[in-house]
A and B are shown apart, each in its own frame.
Chain A
Amino acid sequence: MSAETNSIDIDRSIGNFFYNVKSTRDAGVGLTEKTIDYIVDVKKEPEWLREFRKNAYRVFNSKPLPTHWAGDELKEIDFDVIRYYLASGEAAKRTWEEVPEDIKQTFERLGIPESERKFLAGVEAQFDSEAVYSNIKKAVADQGVIFMGSTDALKERPELFRKWFGKVIPTGDNKFSALNSAVFSGGSFIYVPPGVKVKHPLQAYFRINAENFGQFERTLIIADEGSEVTYMEGCTAPKFTTATLHSAVVELVALPGAKIQYITVQNWAPNVFNLVTKRGLALEEAEIKWIDCNIGSRLTMKYPGVVLKGRKSRGEVISIALAGDGQHQDTGAKMVHAADETTSNIVSKSISIGKGRATYRGLVHVPKHLKGCKNNTECDALLINSSSRTDTYPAITVRGTGNATQHEASVSQISAEQIFYMQQRGLSEGQAMSLAVNGFVNDLVRQFPMEYSVELKRLIDLEMEGSVG
C-alpha cells in the first residue's frame, strides 16, 4: 500500500468520445498563406484582417519555439499535419433544437444545456473552429450586455471589437499568440455596459471533435466602467493517438472600477498541447481575477497575467494544476504593476502524480518609480509519488522603497503514515489519497462557483481513485 509504488491510470472518460461530424469547411492540412486566405474568404472577413493575419503568420514563422526555457515536448508538435480550420459553415444557433443532432448530443453528454438552465446567464458552445450555439438570457441582453462569438462581433460590433482587439496581447507577444493571430476562429466577445453587474456567469464551452486539429479561439471581454462580469470556460476533447493543438488568446479589459472574474476548468485529453496566452488590462480601481484549473492536456503552457495600469487596480491569479503520468502542467502568473497603489495576489497549487510534472513560473514586476504597490505570491506543490516532479521559477522584481512583496513556496508529500491513518478509519487507499489531495486544494476550490467546485472535486476523486490499486 505504499504511496510510492503505484502507477496512475487517469480517468478521461468524461470527454473521451467523438462523433463523425462532417465538416464542409476545411482549410486542409498544414499552414501557408493559402490557409489564411481560405479562412478569411470562408468567413467573409474584411481586408484589414487578412493583412493582420498574414503579418501574424510571418511573425509566427520568424519566432523560434521557446525551447530554450520551456519543455522539449514542444518539438512533438508537427505544425504541418494539423488542420487549422474545420466548420460546418452554418451560423451559431440560438436554441439547442436547431443544433445538428450529433453536435447537440456531444454537448448534452457534457451537461452544458442542463447547466445553462440551472445557473448560467448565457452560453456559447464551440465545436472545432466555430460556435454552434450561442445564447444569452433575455434579461441580461436587455441590460445591454453583448455576448456573442468573436467571429460575429467582428462584423456586428466592429467599433467595439477593433478598439481593443490585439491591444492587450500584441501579435508578437510570443510564438503562439502570433499563431493564434494568424488563424484564430471562434471564441467569445463580451461587452458589459457601464454599471451593469451580471449576476450569473456567462459560460463558453470549447470542444475539439476532430483529429489532427488545432483550435484557435480568440476571446475579448470588455467590462465598462463600474460593471461586473464572471466568465467561465470549460473544454474537452476525445483522446486521439496524434497530437491536437489548442492555442487561444484571451484579452480582458477592465475599465475604471470594473470587475472581471475569469474561470477556467481545463480538462483536455492527454494528447492536447494547450498553449494559451491570457492577459487582462486593469484600469483605475478595476479588478481582474483569473481562476485557472488545469487537469488535462499533454502539455499546458499558460501564465494568466494582469497589467495593473490604473491606480489602485488589483490583479489576482488562483491556480490549480494536476499533472498525471505523461503530463506537464507548466503554469503560473504574470503581474505587471504600472501604477501606484496597485496590488496583486498569486496563489498556485500543483499536484504531481506518477511521472507527472508541474512547473510554476511567475513574473512580478514593480518598477522603481511606483509607490504603495503590494504583491503576495504563494506556491505550493504536492508530490504523490517519488517519480513525480515539480519546479518553481519565480521571477520577482520589486524596485523602489515604497513597495512590498512577499513570497512563500512549499513542496510536500502525502506520507504513507497519513494514508495508513486514514485507512485505519475505514477509507480505501484511493479514497484516502483523494481526501488528502482535495484537502490540499480545498481553500482554492472554495473560490470556484459551487457547480464548478463540485465538478472539480469529482474530477480529483476520479483521478485519485484510478491512481492506486
Chain B
Amino acid sequence: MSSIVIQDLHVSIGEKEIIRGLSLEFSKGETHAVMGPNGSGKSTLAKVMAGHPDYQVTEGDVLMDGVSILEMEPDERSRKGLFMAFQYPMEIPGVSNANFLRAAVQARLPEDEELDAIEFYQRLYEKMDLLDIRREFTARSVNEGFSGGEKKRNEILQLAMLEPAFAVLDETDSGLDIDALKVVANGVNKIRGPEIGILLITHYQRLLNYIVPDFVHVMSEGRIVRSGGRELALELESKGYDWLKEKKGEPVGAN
C-alpha cells in the first residue's frame, strides 16, 4: 500500500540534534496524530519532511512509496504528492490566492500543457463552497492581512486543491478559537478518505475531538515514545506530558 515510511531519522539544526532516531509509518487512507510537548521536535519533523533547507538529516531516511525523498528539492516533493500545512503560513503580497493556486496547479502539469482556466475556477469554487469560503477570497493576496483562522482555512483550501497523497498538518489548531477550529477540522474531515494519508501534528488533544485519528503517537525529545489508538490522546489529556517523563526508558510502542 502507498505509504510514507520514516526510518530511524536523525535531524540537526546547526550543531543541535533535534530528532534522535524517529521511526513512523503512515499509509493512504489513515489519519495519524503526533502529539508532544513544546520542543519535542514535532514541527521539525514536518519541516524536514517538506525539505526545509535549515535542517540536516544526519541519519535515517524518509521514503514515499518506497523511494527516498531526502535528496529532492521541496517543490519536487510537493509535486510527488507531499503537502504540508504550515503552522505560520507566509504572506505573499500582491499575489492573489487564485493566481497562487493556479501557479501551483500549473506546476503539476506537463511542461507543454496549459491549465484550463474554466475548469480550474469550477474546481476552486467547488472546494471553496466545501470549506465555506466566500468568493472575494480569490482576489485577496495570499494570507496578507488574514486572521489566524483565515490563514489556516487557506491552508486547507490549498490542500483540497492540490489533492496530495500525503498531508502533514503542522499545528493547524494553534492560534484558533473554538469556532475557527471547528471550521478547519470540518474541512479536514471533508478531505479525509481512502486517497489521502494525513499526519496531524498537535500539542493539544482538543483538535482530536474534531478530527478523530486512527492512530496516535507521542513524541518526546526527538523520538516517538508511545503509539496507540485514539484513547492514548485522552490518557495524555488527563495525565499531562509529565506522565511521559516518568515512563522514560520503557520500550517504544509498536506501530
Contacts and interface: CB of A to CB of B under 8 A. Distances in A.
Interface of A: 1-2, 415-418, 420-429, 431-432, 435-436, 438-443
A405 B74 CA distance: 46
B110 interface: no
Given A421-B89, A426-B104, A426-B108, 6 more contacts: A418-B92, A422-B90, A424-B83, A425-B75, A426-B79, A427-B104
Contact of A439 (B84, B95, B162): B95
Given A1-B53, A416-B53, A429-B75, A424 B94 contact: no
B52 interface: yes
Contact of B90 (A417, A428, A438, A440): A417
A439 B93 contact: yes
Contacts of B108: 426
A448 to B, nearest CB: 15
B74 A423 contact: yes
A61 B56 CA distance: 62
Interface string B89-103: 111111100011001
B90 A418 contact: yes
Contacts of B91: 418
Interface centre among A420, A436, A440, A443 (most CB of B within 10 A): A420
Contacts, number: 82
- Which size bracket describes the interface of B in this complex? 20 to 34
B107 interface: yes
B141 interface: yes
B81 to A, nearest CB: 10
A432 B106 CA distance: 13
10 contacts: A420-B50, A420-B53, A421-B92, A422-B90, A422-B92, A425-B75, A425-B158, A427-B104, A428-B73, A435-B92
B92 A436 contact: yes
- Per CB-CB distance, the 4 closest pairs between chain A and chain B, nearest first, are A439-B94, A439-B95, A421-B90, A442-B94
A425 B94 contact: no
Given A2-B53, A435-B100, A439-B95, A423 B73 contact: yes
A425 B78 contact: yes
A181 B108 CA distance: 56
Interface in B84-134: 84, 86, 89-95, 99-100, 103-104, 107-108
A2 B74 CA distance: 12
B78 A424 contact: yes
Contacts of A423: 51, 73-75, 78
Given A442-B94, A442-B95, A427 B107 contact: yes
Interface string B135-154: 00000010000000000000
A428 B108 CA distance: 11
B75 A421 contact: no
B155 to A, nearest CB: 10
Nearest to B168: A424
B87 to A, nearest CB: 11
Nearest to B90: A421
A289 B53 CA distance: 45
Given A1-B53, A420-B53, A426 B90 contact: no
A426 B82 CA distance: 9
Nearest to B142: A439
Contact of B107 (A416, A418, A431): A431
B238 to A, nearest CB: 36
A441 B107 contact: no
A236 B73 CA distance: 37
Interface string B47-66: 00011110000000000000
A214 B199 CA distance: 64
Contacts of A416: 53
Nearest to B86: A421
A426 B53 contact: no
A424 B88 CA distance: 13
B85 to A, nearest CB: 9
Interface centre among B52, B86, B91, B93 (most CB of A within 10 A): B93
Interface centre among B51, B77, B91, B103 (most CB of A within 10 A): B103
A94 to B, nearest CB: 39
Contacts of B78: 423-426
Contact of A424 (B74, B92, B99, B103): B74
B75 A428 contact: yes
Interface string B16-59: 00000000000000000000000000000000001111000000
A416 B55 CA distance: 13
